[in-house]
């Protein structure tokens, strides 16, 4: 079986300037994810904001089945050209998995067409991630619920369009709930938003978080595609005036 080609994109900023984040993710959270997701059927490459064209050239995206995205304080530094290129590739079938604060990334907000706003607080509370859709491929092998010891709280209302499927809803100790694992389809592309991954907590080393992301990569990988839909006149395929 052909390997799924995964590109993990990270703005890679906090890890360079914040000692606490650096101690958790010395090589960057993208490198940590690469290690945690490593398996025989994924071929994983890394890309970051400071690379030429943010590491997301046409050549790289043409060779990517599923793109993971982590960004937080440097969303605006992503060029419109690259953001639009990512959106075009998603629409053409590339899977897209925005993580945590990527809810405000240019590609995600453009694909959603909505505010993508949410409530948040950082008080080191624990979170309980509930699987509310156990039949979904992204839920396979996961327990009914799992605990994340410390995570930034994200709360409703989350300014997303109605998702295709809600796979996980997260409860936070401070009382909020959040649609933290949702799927969307845009043209031929499959999208899964997943909330864990605040930079000051080691949650990309959590076995359940990694299992969800790994399942999501397999789910979002493009299926053999129908030819592009085009926009041409089509003659009737059947007699219509008999």
Binding site for Zn ion (CB under 5 A): 101, 152, 198
Pick the closer one to Zn ion by CB: 179 or 198. Answer: 198
Closest distance to Zn ion from the beta carbon of 110 (Å): 21
The 3-class secondary structure across 124-168, one letter per residue, is: CCCEEEEECCCCCHHHCCCCCEEEECCCCEEECCCCCCCCCEEEE
Q: Which residue's Cβ has the minimum distance to Zn ion?
A: 198
Placement of tokens 């299926």 in the chain: 223
Closest distance to Zn ion from the beta carbon of 120 (Å): 7
Pick the closer one to Zn ion by CB: 189 or 196. Answer: 196
Closest distance to Zn ion from the beta carbon of 151 (Å): 9
Pick the closer one to Zn ion by CB: 101 or 215. Answer: 101
Closest distance to Zn ion from the beta carbon of 198 (Å): 4
In the chain, where do the E strands start and end? 4-10, 42-48, 66-70, 95-99, 119-121, 127-131, 145-148, 153-155, 165-172, 177-186, 189-194
What are the phi and psi torsion angles at 221 (to 5°)? -60, 140
Pick the closer one to Zn ion by CB: 32 or 139. Answer: 32
């Amino acid at each position: 079986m052909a390997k799924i080609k995964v590109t993990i994109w990270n703005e890679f900023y906090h890890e360079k300037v914040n000692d606490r984040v650096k101690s958790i993710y010395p090589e960057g959270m993208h490198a940590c994810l690469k290690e945690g997701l490593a398996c025989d059927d994924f071929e994983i490459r890394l890309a970051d904001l400071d690379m030429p064209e943010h590491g997301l050239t046409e050549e790289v995206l043409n060779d990517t089945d599923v793109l993971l995205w982590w960004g937080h304080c440097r969303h605006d530094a992503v060029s419109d050209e690259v953001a639009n290129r990512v959106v075009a590739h998603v629409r053409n079938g590339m899977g897209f998995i925005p993580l945590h604060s990527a809810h405000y990334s240019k590609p995600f907000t453009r694909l959603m067409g909505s505010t993508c706003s949410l409530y948040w607080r950082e008080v080191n509370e624990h979170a309980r991630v509930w699987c509310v859709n156990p039949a979904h491929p992204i839920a396979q092998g996961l327990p009914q619920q799992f605990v994340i010891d410390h995570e930034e709280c994200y709360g409703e209302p989350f300014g997303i369009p109605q998702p295709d499927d809600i796979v996980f809803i997260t409860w936070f100790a401070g009382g909020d709930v959040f649609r933290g694992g949702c799927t969307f389809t845009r043209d031929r592309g499959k999208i899964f938003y997943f909330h864990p991954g605040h930079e000051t907590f080691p949650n990309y080393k959590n076995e359940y978080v990694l299992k969800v992301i790994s399942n999501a990569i397999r789910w979002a990988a493009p299926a053999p595609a129908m030819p592009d839909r085009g926009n041409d006149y089509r003659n009737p395929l059947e007699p219509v005036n008999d």
